[in-house]
Amino acid sequence: MILVFCELKDGQIRKPSAEALSEGRRLADASGKKLGALFAGASCAGAAEAAKFGADVILTAEGPSLASYSSDAFATVLADAVKAKGATVLLAAATAVGKDVLPRAAARLGAGYASDVTGLSMVDGKLQAVRPVYAGKAFATTSFASAVQTATTRPNVFPAAEKAGAGATEALAAPAGDFKSVVKEILAKASGKVDLSEANVIVSGGRGMKDGANFKILEELADALGGVVGASRAAVDAGWGLPHSMQVGQTGKVVSPTLYIACGISGAIQHIAGMSGSKFIVAINKDPEAPIFKLANYGIVGDLFEVVPELTKAAKAMGIGSN
Amino acid sequence: MKILVALKQVPDTETKIKVAADGKSLDPADVKWITSPYDEYALEEAIRLKEGKGAEVVALSVGSDASKDVLKNALALGADSAVLLKGEGQGDPYAVAQVIAAYAKDKGFDLILCGNKGLGGDNAAMGPMLAELLGVAQANVIVKLELGDGTFKAEREIEGGSEIVEGALPAVITAQKGLNEPRYASLKGIMAAKKKTIEELDAAAVTTAAQVSALALPPERPAGRLLQGDAAQQAQALLQALKDEAKVF
């Protein structure tokens, strides 16, 4: 069996989990295996949706002990499910939870682990993964020696494809309490916007923004396009009050949106490493020699303080982002 | 209190990546090696704990003789002692976690700190694997850490915000940028470090569960197009192209 650990949010399967599940279905078809979707929490209401993404079996571990995320409790659920079902492949999305729990579960199972993968295949009955290394400056193929193979899938790379599955349900026992660590409180950002790592459209600003307050024009463009705002290391380190969570690059977030608009970003190698996986790149810069133009599908040589507001205006006029 | 800090030597972020003749590893020619930046936050946090509450700080690296540079730097910054586990340091995070676990298991460390990922390998896996192998708590991608009496409270970065993780010591805590601002080594520290020796041990024999079987450069991106006209015309042309050619909207 191929087992995919899925996360729920507001009673729905999170998009990165649906993507992992769809990729699991593809691998299961390619290798003649069953696909299991695994859920854990105080309530797993909404787990039935996994049948839409091809799950043959939906496994739910429900109980008060799983109300808050705990690395060791969730690792126990995952490892026990792998053993109980005799699964040979365990996947999850490379989210904050996925990246926290999968390595721990893998170590308990003596299983190899490939993180944040952008390609998966079955070779001689075993998983093989392709993943960006050096923040996307190169791609490594990971081959496994272990009986169980595990991986987390990078959000926004694998399509979430609907395909009906049998969706037979099975309840698993929730582990008893007294865990080594537990999440006590979630401090959400007020905006409620998606994270850079999952965003479909990113508008990013660099040193050319001149000041943190000027990021307001990027916010306006991002809002018009249904995207979120990022920043280069130069901008984050400039003392403009921009949080590190906004930073795109090798020492910040590595992103793969459909559209990345780089405003006043020259294109330092460490920034390019973090965003070169974007499907379409737009560069707006007044320096025609800026290295970012070598990477861009579309380039605008001009003053971003003129171009960006024009883009916002045109996007609104065209009704872009409203769909 | 006894703190272990695991440090990894990695290529500098400005490195231009070239694939070696074996087709699966990095060509080491012209590579400038540094301490993984996330490990620097881990080390700084350990030194601050030592200064604040008093602690013994042991710096550790897994790798070849070249990794001694990372350990010498850690000693100069304030680590009390340094250990090099000689063996393969750049491969499977599970193998590295087993090597460190074999060293650390009987040494009574209250806290193990390392970066949330090794720059380059980008696995972000060694820390939680080590926590599992030692049977202790973990908290990853930490931007704030407070220690109590046998407990920890850590703020961890998640999508769209952060969360507070509480747990029992011993624990493996992996550092994120923002945890602190690492210091530079003082001349006094550098001189003092010269008098200290790096303990060298053979890495324990372990099982490799996964390995890199090929390394390739990303495909070249197609040549782009510059949009002409004044700002309003450029904006209009861009959105039209994104809509019609790229079909982004």
Rounded CA-CA distance A21/B193 in Å is 52
Identify which of B97, B232, B246 has the shortest CB distance to residue A297: B246
Which pLDDT band holds residue A323 (cuts at 50, 70, 90)? very low
Does domain A2-172 fall under CATH 3.40.50.300? My reply is: no
Min Cα separation B196/chain A (Å): 31
Which pLDDT band holds residue B90 (cuts at 50, 70, 90)? low
Q: Which of A77, A128, A134, A293 would best serve as a mutation to test chain B binding (most B beta carbons within 10 A)? A: A134
A207-212: average pLDDT: 97
CB contact under 8 A, B94 and A113: yes
3-state SS class at B31:
coil
A120 in reach of chain B (CB within 8 A): no
Min Cα separation B83/chain A (Å): 24
Q: Provide φ and ψ at A210, rounded to 5°.
A: 70, -30
pLDDT of residue A191: 61
Min Cα separation B102/chain A (Å): 14
Tokens of residue A27, six digits: 């691998």
- Residues of A within 8 A of B239 (CB-CB) are 311, 314-315, 318, 320
* Half-sphere exposure at residue B28, Cβ-oriented, CA atoms within 13 angstroms: 6
* Neighbouring-strand partners of residue A61: A40, A172
Does domain A196-318 fall under CATH 3.30.420.140? My reply is: no
A116 in reach of chain B (CB within 8 A): yes
CB contact under 8 A, A138 and B218: yes
Tokens of residue B124, six digits: 């972000």
A131-138: average pLDDT: 92
A2-172 and A196-318 have identical folds? yes
Q: Where are the domains of chain B?
A: 2-202, 219-249
Min Cα separation B69/chain A (Å): 21
Q: Provide φ and ψ at A34, rounded to 5°.
A: -85, 155
Rounded CA-CA distance A120/B145 in Å is 36
Min Cα separation B221/chain A (Å): 6
Closest to A3 in 3D by CA, of A145, A168, A150: A150
A164 in reach of chain B (CB within 8 A): no
pLDDT of residue A192: 65
Sign for the pseudo-dihedral over CA of B170, B175, B180, B183: positive
Q: Which of A266, A298, A323 would best serve as a mutation to test chain B binding (most B beta carbons within 10 A)? A: A298
At B36-69, the pLDDT tens digits run 999 999 999 999 999 999 999 999 999 999 999 9
| DSSP conformation class of A237 | T
Q: Is the pLDDT of residue A188 over 90?
A: no
* Half-sphere exposure at residue B179, Cβ-oriented, CA atoms within 13 angstroms: 34
Amino acid at A282: V
What lies within 8 Å, CB to CB, of A235 at 6+ separation is A205, A206, A207, A209, A212, A242
Share of chain B above pLDDT 70, in %: 99
Does domain B2-202 fall under CATH 3.30.930.10? My reply is: no
A75 in reach of chain B (CB within 8 A): yes
Tokens of residue A19, six digits: 């993507």
Count CB neighbours of B77 within 10 A: 24
B95-117: average pLDDT: 97
Question: Peptide bond before B170: cis, by omega within 30 degrees of 0?
Answer: yes
B72-86: average pLDDT: 97
Tokens of residue B59, six digits: 């710096």
Q: Where are the domains of chain A?
A: 2-172, 196-318
At A66-78, the pLDDT tens digits run 999 999 999 999 9
- Residues of B within 8 A of A132 (CB-CB) are 122, 218
- Residues of B within 8 A of A198 (CB-CB) are 159
SS3 labels along A245-262? HHEECCCCECCCCCEEEE
A129-156: average pLDDT: 95
Rounded CA-CA distance B53/B230 in Å is 62
Rounded CA-CA distance A22/A24 in Å is 5
Contact B212, A142 (CB under 8 A): yes
Residue scoring higher pLDDT (B60 or A190)? B60
Rounded CA-CA distance B249/B240 in Å is 10
Rounded CA-CA distance A88/B219 in Å is 32
Q: Which of A131, A251, A297, A303 would best serve as a mutation to test chain B binding (most B beta carbons within 10 A)? A: A297
What lies within 8 Å, CB to CB, of A38 at 6+ separation is A3, A4, A5, A6, A59, A60, A61, A77, A78, A81, A172
Query: Long-range CB contacts (< 8 A, 24+ apart) of A304-307?
Result: A304/A208, A304/A209, A304/A263, A304/A264, A305/A214, A305/A217, A306/B231, A307/B231, A307/B234, A307/B235
CB contact under 8 A, B17 and A314: no
Count CB neighbours of A191 within 10 A: 11
* Half-sphere exposure at residue A188, Cβ-oriented, CA atoms within 13 angstroms: 6
Identify which of A69, A193, A250 has the shortest CB distance to residue B13: A250
CB contact under 8 A, B160 and A244: no
Residue length of chain A: 323
A301 in reach of chain B (CB within 8 A): yes
Which pLDDT band holds residue A319 (cuts at 50, 70, 90)? confident
Per the prediction, chain B carries an average pLDDT of: 95
* Neighbouring-strand partners of residue B162: A187, B157
Tokens of residue B143, six digits: 């931007």
At B188-238, the pLDDT tens digits run 999 999 999 999 999 999 999 999 999 999 988 888 999 999 999 999 999
Identify which of A137, A181, A254 has the shortest CB distance to residue B138: A181
Count CB neighbours of A244 within 10 A: 17
Q: Provide φ and ψ at A219, rounded to 5°.
A: -60, -40
Contact A236, A218 (CB under 8 A): no
CB contact under 8 A, B213 and A142: yes
At A252-297, the pLDDT tens digits run 998 999 999 999 999 999 899 899 989 999 999 999 999 999 999 9
